[in-house]
């Protein structure tokens, strides 16, 4: 009985380990900006893509990686792209401004996955439009190198052109706050003169103005702290953001 039990247990462990190994993909190691493991990018296009990615990183520190693979099996292309993004750690730490473009030949899929720091710039609608306009027409003609080049170029142009949405929102909030500060100062000055001409004593005027100023100051301080905390939380997000993909062929 004991021998049968241990034999069954050994068989069960073997089956479980085999199942885990069967669904564990063999992710390639990061080579550089261009990782053509499927061999579909010619030397000239690879050089242009490398220069494009270098220029993008130099312009605003965003990191783009172009990847082609023969297959993503046993995973689907979306899961493979997300896990590869995390494995390679694309994007600057604290900014999470990486973007991965992956072409899976056997599955006939192309995926675009931005990090959280670029998700507001390369949203689903914009990524889908870029794929429809630049990638798919070339892919249908079998020109994968040109499709990837046009796609990467369009993505880089969008990233260079658009500011960080989280930073812009914080700046706008602070501008609004300081605008209200200016209005508040004007109101306080007008109130002081009005009370003075109405015959109120300087002690009463000082007390009223002090109370108003203190109340406004606490409100402004809270608003500024809230805006800064919101921006820091947005920076704290890490990892891949929302993914957009298309099937071709």
- Record the pTM: 0.65
Q: Is the pLDDT of residue 96 over 70?
A: yes
Q: Select from 3.10.150.10, 3.20.20.70, 3.20.20.450, 3.10.310.50 the CATH code of 22-162+238-247.
A: 3.10.310.50
Bridge partner list, 244:
112
Helix axes 43-60, 144-161, angle to 10 degrees: 10
pLDDT top residue among 11 and 32: 32
Residue range 119-131: mean pLDDT, rounded: 95
Instruction: Give the C-alpha separation, 157 to 162, whole Å.
Output: 9
Contact 184, 221 (CB under 8 A): no
Q: Lowest-confidence range among 19-23, 65-69, 73-77, 119-123?
A: 19-23
Q: Place 217 in a pLDDT band, splitting at 50, 70 and 90.
A: low
pLDDT top residue among 118 and 191: 118
Cα distances (Å, whole numbers) of residue 81 to 24, 64, 155, 227: 14, 13, 17, 33
The domains of the chain are located at 22-162+238-247, 165-236
**Three-state DSSP class for residue 218:** helix
Q: Is the pLDDT of residue 239 over 70?
A: no
Q: Is the pLDDT of residue 103 over 90?
A: yes
């Amino acid at each position: 009985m004991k021998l049968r039990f241990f034999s069954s247990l050994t068989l069960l462990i073997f089956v479980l380990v085999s199942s885990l190994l069967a669904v564990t993909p063999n992710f390639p190691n990061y080579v550089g900006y261009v990782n053509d493991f499927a061999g579909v990018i010619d030397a000239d296009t690879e050089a242009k893509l490398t220069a494009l990615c270098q220029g993008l990183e130099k312009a605003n520190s965003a990191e783009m990686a172009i990847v082609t693979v023969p297959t993503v099996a046993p995973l689907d292309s979306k899961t493979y792209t997300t896990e590869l993004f995390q494995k390679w750690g694309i994007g600057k730490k604290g900014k999470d401004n990486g973007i991965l473009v992956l072409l899976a030949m056997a599955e006939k899929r192309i995926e675009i996955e931005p990090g959280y720091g670029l998700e507001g710039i390369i949203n689903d609608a914009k990524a889908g439009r870029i794929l429809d306009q630049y990638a798919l027409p070339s892919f249908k003609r079998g020109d994968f190198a040109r499709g990837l080049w046009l796609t990467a170029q369009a993505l880089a142009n969008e990233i260079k052109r658009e500011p960080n949405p989280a930073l812009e929102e914080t700046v706008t909030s602070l501008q609004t706050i300081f605008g209200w500060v200016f209005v508040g100062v004007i109101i306080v000055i007008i109130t002081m003169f009005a009370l003075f001409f109405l015959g109120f004593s300087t002690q009463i005027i000082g007390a009223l103005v002090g109370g108003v100023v203190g109340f406004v100051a606490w409100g402004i301080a809270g608003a500024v702290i809230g805006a800064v905390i919101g921006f820091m939380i947005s920076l704290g997000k890490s990892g891949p953001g929302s993914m957009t993909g298309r099937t071709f062929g």
